[in-house]
Amino acid sequence: MFAHSHGTVVAAAVLHDYGGQADKLLMFNSAIPSEAFDPTLFNTATNNHLVHDDWVEYTNSCWTARWHELFPTGDARNNLTWKGRFSAIAPICVNFYSSGDEVLELYEDAHNPAWYNGVSPSGNWGERYCWHKQEIWKGRKSWLDLSIVGPSYWSGWGFKKKAHLVRFWSAAEANAVANPQVFATNTVFDPFPPSITNATATRLETDMHLAQGIPALSPAAGSIALSQMDIPSYDMNSYVSTNWPVGNRDADLQYRWLHSDLKNVAFLFVHGLFHEIVEEGGLGE
């Protein structure tokens, strides 16, 4: 099975949840959070660039991404995490990632990329860092946060607030909580939609919350190697040569394997990748 970008999420779900059959899943520029395959990549440090600036001062035990830890196995809320989501199918996965991918690239100059970061005169209207923006803005598209940007209103990095837009919890109050179990029923984040609080849910309902609300705390699988999980990993950026067709790309993106170069660049330049596809996919047998 072959899949690209967000298509790898669909393919992984088909195999993991719905009995799909495949000898291998070849993932290209995968948009799946890497913690879904390797739970050790789940990073709760405040210097993680996937942590929203507004939450850095808050104990990580109250973050939406860790809320699942407050519930037992069998409770649907325990499944509200990307951590280990697809680890069961790791043995059949092959990760064709790119260390030069601009869509999956994390913005390193600050925790929060602004809407205009990655926009350029050469025709790139925001593709760069867009995966980072997707994760860092989850829950921020809310009048409560006075934000007009963001991928969703769903629970994520948005705060639960009182009247006059005052947060229910200050950082000092949250940090003073001795037992994080308090946050199970009295969240610091905005629990929206209310279905997030249900102890029972279908897989599809849980996945809707993952997709639209629960933030990742690890880079996209399509931007790093997953060798720790014994997943064969190939950096497509290594196929870039000095005669790479740069077109009208920005200077710092010219000699990089970008998100869609699998289809955008002629076979003359990408034949090395197709050789690996034949080998890993067993297509030469």
Q: How many domains does the chain have?
A: 1
How many CB atoms neighbour CB 8 within 10 A?
Answer: 26
Q: Are 104 and 29 in contact (CB under 8 A)?
A: yes
Query: What single DSSP character describes residue 138?
Result: B
Lookup: tokens for 242: 């000095």
How many CB atoms neighbour CB 140 within 10 A?
Answer: 25
pLDDT attached to residue 150:
60
CA nearest to 240, candidates 227, 253, 226: 253
| CA distance linking residue 130 with residue 55, whole number of Å | 20
CA nearest to 222, candidates 48, 94, 32, 36: 32
Q: Are 34 and 224 in contact (CB under 8 A)?
A: yes
How much is the pTM? 0.92
How far CA 277 is from CA of 100, 256, 283, in Å, comes to 19, 20, 8
| CA distance linking residue 204 with residue 237, whole number of Å | 35
- The alpha carbon dihedral of 129, 134, 136, 141 has a sign of positive
Range of the domain at 121: 2-281
Q: Is the peptide bond before 113 cis (omega within 30 degrees of 0)?
A: no
pLDDT attached to residue 145:
55
Residues 6+ apart with CB under 8 A from 175: 57, 58, 59
Max Cα–Cα distance, the chain, nearest Å: 67
Distance separating the N- and C-terminal Cα atoms of the chain: 16
How many CB atoms neighbour CB 233 within 10 A?
Answer: 18
pLDDT 10s per residue in the chain (285 long)?
A: 999 999 999 999 999 999 899 999 999 999 999 999 999 999 999 999 999 999 999 999 999 999 999 999 999 999 999 999 999 999 999 999 999 999 999 998 877 888 888 887 666 667 899 999 999 999 987 655 555 556 678 999 999 988 778 899 999 999 999 999 999 999 999 999 999 999 999 999 999 999 999 999 999 999 999 988 889 999 999 999 889 998 888 888 999 999 999 999 999 999 989 989 998 888 766
In angstroms, how far is CA 285 from the centroid of its own chain? 35
Name the 3-class secondary structure at 27.
strand
**How many residues are given for the chain?**
285
